Amino acid sequence: MLKLSILDQSPVSIGFTHSEALQQTIQLAQAADRLGFTRFWVSEHHNSAGLAGSSPEVLLSTLAARTNRIRLGSGGVLLPHYSAYKVAENFRMLEALYPGRIDLGIGRAPGGTPHTAKALRGADADLFEGLERFPAQVHDLLRFLTDSVEAGHVFEGIRATPLVTGVPQVWLLGSTGQSGVYASQSGAAFCFAHFINGAGGQQAVRSYRKSFRPSALNVVPQTTVCIHVLCAETDAEAERLAASSDLRILQVEKGEFEGVLPPEEAAKYPYSEWDLTRVRDNRSRMIVGSASRVREQLLSLAASYEVNEVMIVAGGYQFETRLKTIELLAESFGLA
């Protein structure tokens, strides 16, 4: 049976506050826990009016305290902005408090504008150098998480605390094959962001598996794929509600995203011919429809990637739309 998981970006719908968006993320995580989803990840974005999640580590501690069994993780921590040592300590703390339930997903995207990245790293930071350092940061992070800093290394004798026996599951996240290369070289798991890039993911995952090097984290490759999903009682209702998601994705591309609009307002947006072409093209990153239709397409997607788990980003303007999506999928796949 296909396993289902969730990535929630704490989207802020027009007319709602960031605090309300974060409360909705908590409610969605509790529902996912109750319904039988495998894992629930939260994202990291900065200086965004339309996305409230800026600190996955802090949010994860609240989610873990309010759920019982579901795995919880970051999707993901933007490692180039931070110290690998501090990230290791943050997630060792979570692993100590909630053993066996924590995933550490890491990425190298800026999570905001270059100007915002400067604010995160310091005004004098070289942003390009930060990306170049990413592979070394990944290896340092894994050394700290597995207590394997070798003799003679610059960090010899340093251990990440608290000292715990378990290790968070480490995932590299990406929308290109390069992140798969980093994941295979480090022995980490790999999640392809099909919801960002609807082309080339299958080849990236195949290349990851072929080049995978066993490690203290994984002896065999582990993969999943993440895609936008909106599910409703009927195909027609799902298509109506998806107008909000179509516009949201387009506005993110155009740098105009200030929050999710209701479907009625999204339908009135003054789309140019270019906009309409992008909306049609972006449907390769989405699955929209009734439970039976979405189930069929999720199974097809999983088969094309050769994975036994798919992660969804539930779309829509109303929180109830996102909740209905995961309820219908849980019933359709017999998760609970």
pLDDT value of position 258? 93
pLDDT value of position 131? 66
CB-based contact 127:110 (threshold 8 Å): yes
pLDDT value of position 92? 98
* Region 244-259 average pLDDT: 95
Tokens matching residue 20 = 């309300």
Would you place residue 336 in the very low, low, confident or very high pLDDT band (cuts 50, 70, 90)?
Answer: confident
pLDDT value of position 112? 73
According to DSSP, the residues that pair with 192 across neighbouring strands are 174, 225
* Region 314-336 average pLDDT: 97
Would you place residue 130 in the very low, low, confident or very high pLDDT band (cuts 50, 70, 90)?
Answer: low
Per-residue pLDDT tens for 81-100?
Answer: 999 999 999 999 999 999 99
pLDDT value of position 90? 98
CATH number for 18: 3.20.20.30
CB-based contact 189:169 (threshold 8 Å): yes
Would you place residue 152 in the very low, low, confident or very high pLDDT band (cuts 50, 70, 90)?
Answer: confident
Domains of the chain: total? 1
According to DSSP, the residues that pair with 311 across neighbouring strands are 5, 226
DSSP 180-238: HHHHHHHT-EEEEETTT--SSHHHHHHHHHHH----SS-SS--EEEEEEEEEESSHHHH
* Region 231-245 average pLDDT: 98
Would you place residue 151 in the very low, low, confident or very high pLDDT band (cuts 50, 70, 90)?
Answer: confident
The yes-or-no verdict on residue 125 having pLDDT over 80 is no
Q: Can you tell me the distance from the alpha carbon of 21 to that of 119, in angstroms, rounded to the nearest whole number?
A: 24
pLDDT value of position 289? 98
Per-residue pLDDT tens for 176-195?
Answer: 999 999 999 999 999 999 99
The yes-or-no verdict on residue 120 having pLDDT over 90 is no
Identify the residue with better confidence: 128 or 282: 282
Per-residue pLDDT tens for 194-223?
Answer: 999 999 999 999 999 999 999 999 999 999
pLDDT value of position 201? 97
Domain that includes residue 253, residue range: 3-333
The yes-or-no verdict on residue 129 having pLDDT over 80 is no
pTM of the model: 0.96
